[in-house]
Amino acid sequence: MAAYVIDSQLFRDQFGTARMREIFSDEATVQRWLDVESSLAKVQATLGIIPQDKADEIIAKAHIRNIDLDKLKKEMDRTSHPIVPLLRAMKDVCEGDAGEFIHWGATTQDITDTGTILQVADALVELEASYQEIINNLCGLATKYRDVVMVARSHGQHALPITFGFKVAVWVEEMRRNMARFHQMKERVLVGQFSGAVGTLAALEEEGVAVQEALFRDLGLGCPKITWHVSRDNIAELVSVISIITSTIGKIASEVYALQKTEVSELEEPFATGKVGSSTMPHKRNPPSCETIMAIARVVRSTVPLALESVMAEHERDKVVLQTEREFISRVFCMADAAALKMSAISKNLSVRTENMERNLHIQKGLLMSEPVMMRLGAVIGRQEAHEIIYELCMEAFETGESLKSALLRTPAVSERLSEQEIDSMLDPHTYTGASGYFVDKVTAVS
């Protein structure tokens, strides 16, 4: 087994995805550093700060194919520095003295921070597509099962009837709120970093601000009002928002898991022949995708305190927080993407056992419908007195297995005021879903 699951040949696709591994690979990381250096040379040549021919040579050679990663790694180990070895490697591959003009006025963290944000931008595109697909799939489920009645549960116990469409619509709206957070967060996070040694752009004198603005226009990133070298709240927000969304996805997976239990059997994650539930019990149909999502959600949200620790950076530069971020940023994205892709597949092909939903409405022999009986009786004798009467009957029926209808009919305080036809009507769960359909329509009507 590898040192960590996202790198394991056996487990990496359970806890990560190929596309996130590519975005945060060593090759992509170095390429993003080179992209920043290339763009910097480009805008500085345009502004007349460095010669155009030197910038052209830097741009031409700023590609990962020109960098020996093994040699770069050895130099990084020797120097204890990530960017100086890269600058030396670029000097070696550039013709003439062009390499002397790379990294002009920049500091290491400018390059690494901006490179990370470029990777984050790529990763957020992937996540957003998966999140939107989940929302679309859930909207389809909410619409399809708008009027399919099922048991609502509170504290793990039968409560009242709802529709399955209503349950799913609650998930849809939560995911939509998450998407609003996601988009707002992007505006604050997708901001570049270029401000020199301590954030003042002193090395570029009066041209620093012009370089900064032109650089981020070229890279397609926002321009900060001031350096964020030691302001890591943006990274903390990034991890927090992704953790919230992954927790919502985990919550949905947990609900599918709970409703797939044999005794309930109302939902089942997609199943295909060949999917094995047990090495010793051939009958098992387990929910492994839901279980993995739930596990991922726990790991991802456990990273939030670590991201918050990085907000406590010191002075004008603090490598400690950068080293911490280097450990968790790619990990969070890999796991979040794995959870999102799994939920996309589950929500697209979820098995909904409507016949079992119908069956479970009646397993307590009418006790599910105690509220409408209490409310109708309360209109006649007062709510609190009605509650006491129905409560006593329900507790007796629960212990003895008697139906609520039978208990109501044998109780004069009820039978003298409510007819058998009225009681039958009140005990029909299909007539007591409130405004479930209205709320489903309200949620699914949003484009």
155 part of the active site: yes
63 part of the active site: no
Q: What is the DSSP string of 184-224?
A: HHHHHHSB-----TTSS-GGGGGGHHHHHHHHHHHHT-BPP
Do the Cβ atoms of 369 and 426 come closer than 8 Å? yes
Do the Cβ atoms of 408 and 423 come closer than 8 Å? yes
| Residue with token string 């998407």 | 179
Half-sphere exposure of 292 (CA within 13 A, CB side): 23
Do the Cβ atoms of 336 and 372 come closer than 8 Å? no
Do the Cβ atoms of 275 and 200 come closer than 8 Å? no
**Which among 155, 279, 283, 315 is annotated as catalytic?**
155
The type of residue at 52 is Q
CA dihedral 56, 57, 59, 63 (to 10 degrees): 160
The type of residue at 416 is E
Do the Cβ atoms of 377 and 391 come closer than 8 Å? no
Query: Distance (Å, rounded) from C-alpha 124 to C-alpha 383?
Result: 53
Query: Distance (Å, rounded) from C-alpha 218 to C-alpha 108?
Result: 19
What is the chain's Cα-based Rg?
A: 30
3-state secondary structure of 150: strand
If phi > 0 it is left, if psi is from -120 to 50 it is alpha, else beta; for residue 382 that is left
Q: How far apart are the first and last CA of the chain?
A: 45
> Hey, how many other C-beta atoms are within 10 angstroms of the C-beta on 373?
24
**Which among 183, 278, 419, 430 is annotated as catalytic?**
278
Element (H, E) at 55: helix 52-61
- Which active-site residues does the annotation give? 155, 278
